Amino acid sequence: MNAPASSSADILRAALAGLLDGLPPKSATRAVERLIANYRGRTPTDAPVLRDRSDVVAYAAYRMPATFEAVCSALEAFAAAVPGWAPGSHVDVGGGTGAATWAVSATWEGGRPVTVLDWAEPALALGREIAAANPELQAAAWQRSRIGSALTIESADLVTISYVLGELTDADRTAVVDAATAAAQAVVIIEPGTPDGYARVIEARARLVAAGFHVAAPCPHSAACPIVPGEDWCHFSARVSRSSLHRQVKGGSLAYEDEKFSYVAATRFLPDPAPSRVVRKPQIRKGQVLLDLCAAEPALTRTTVTKRHGLRYKAARDAEWGDAWPSAGDADAL
């Protein structure tokens, strides 16, 4: 593993803050408000919303830290399921300013060939500029490419697709996922932690499994998701430090916010997924902890861990939403 993701996050935030120095605060706020309203809408891939440098600077400063933390969280769970494996090459589809490339370099040590594909040339240019602060990304290739049915991806150990599928038509979404499965040894897809984002992840997950991939995270299995469609959705949370721009746009005084996301990580080779995973915030009560788990059966279960469970109770009190949870007989994992 690399240095803690927090170190990379600090470097990234410093680089983004430097970019904002030349942009009037009111202009940045207006740009972010407009982009929030439009960027995740029904924008066709031949008309990028990020039109110029000021758009891209504002959006990157506002969204990159949250995307980085969400992808880091997904990659941490994925890396735990593939111990001893590290990607020798990485392609980031629809990577924009490169948040996922920063997350990959924070997760696995050592440099690797990196290619970022995106339609918006201003985003690619800014991503290249920001990457100068990260020694492992200085040689990355930033390529303009239409993200859709005509997409081709060169063979790579890892392909990431983060916060992209929601911008595509149904046909283009299918084509992009299929292009990734054809090119990669491992695919990680991250979407917003909304019912719609989860639905896109589940759709992509089914295509990955049908193509012969094995789910490594977050699911403990590659069978169908046990969640009943329309009744609930699987998502997780990553804490993000708020910048001054965040506070300007959203108001309030909290120094952080929680980024909700859904994801799937799958591999051509056999991973070692968690026996089960905590899929809701643990409920800590007097003398007991209630854990909502997705298990390998597959099934959704609620487990009550009490003081009489000893080390298991201590582990339950320390458990967080999204963590792996060991099987009942696996004392070594506690």
| pLDDT (average), residues 156-179 | 96
Map out the domains of the chain with their CATH numbers: 5-267 (3.40.50.150), 276-333 (no CATH)
User: Is residue 33 pLDDT above 80, yes or no?
Assistant: no
Q: Which amino acid is present at 319?
A: A
Instruction: Among 170-174, 245-249, 254-258, name the one with the lowest average pLDDT.
Output: 245-249
Note the pLDDT tens digit of each residue in 117-150. Answer: 999 898 999 999 999 999 999 999 999 999 999 9
pLDDT of residue 207: 98
Counting Cβ atoms within 10 Å, is residue 294 exposed (0-12), middle (13-18) or buried (19+)?
Answer: buried
Hey, how many other C-beta atoms are within 10 angstroms of the C-beta on 195? 14
Hey, how many other C-beta atoms are within 10 angstroms of the C-beta on 302? 10
Q: Which amino acid is present at 308?
A: R
Q: Which amino acid is present at 38?
A: N
pLDDT band at residue 47, thresholds of 50, 70 and 90? Answer: low
3-class SS string, 256-289: EEEEEEEEEEEECCCCCCCCEEECCCCEEECCEE
Assess whether the previous peptide bond of 218 is cis (omega < 30° from 0).
Answer: yes
Q: How far apart are CA 213 and CA 334, in angstroms?
A: 29
For 150, residues 6+ apart whose C-beta sits below 8 A from its C-beta are 175
Helical pair 99-107 and 53-81, crossing angle rounded to 10 deg: 30
Note the pLDDT tens digit of each residue in 275-332. Answer: 999 999 999 999 999 999 999 988 899 999 999 999 999 999 999 999 999 976 665 5
pLDDT of residue 50: 62
pLDDT: is 134 or 43 the higher one? 134
Hey, how many other C-beta atoms are within 10 angstroms of the C-beta on 143? 12
User: Is residue 2 pLDDT above 60, yes or no?
Assistant: no
User: Is residue 48 pLDDT above 80, yes or no?
Assistant: no
Note the pLDDT tens digit of each residue in 174-219. Answer: 999 999 999 999 999 999 999 999 999 999 999 999 999 999 999 9
For 92, residues 6+ apart whose C-beta sits below 8 A from its C-beta are 98, 100, 101, 104, 114, 115, 116, 117, 159, 160, 162
Assess contact for 162 and 67: CB atoms under 8 A. Answer: yes
pLDDT of residue 53: 76
Helical pair 121-131 and 53-81, crossing angle rounded to 10 deg: 60
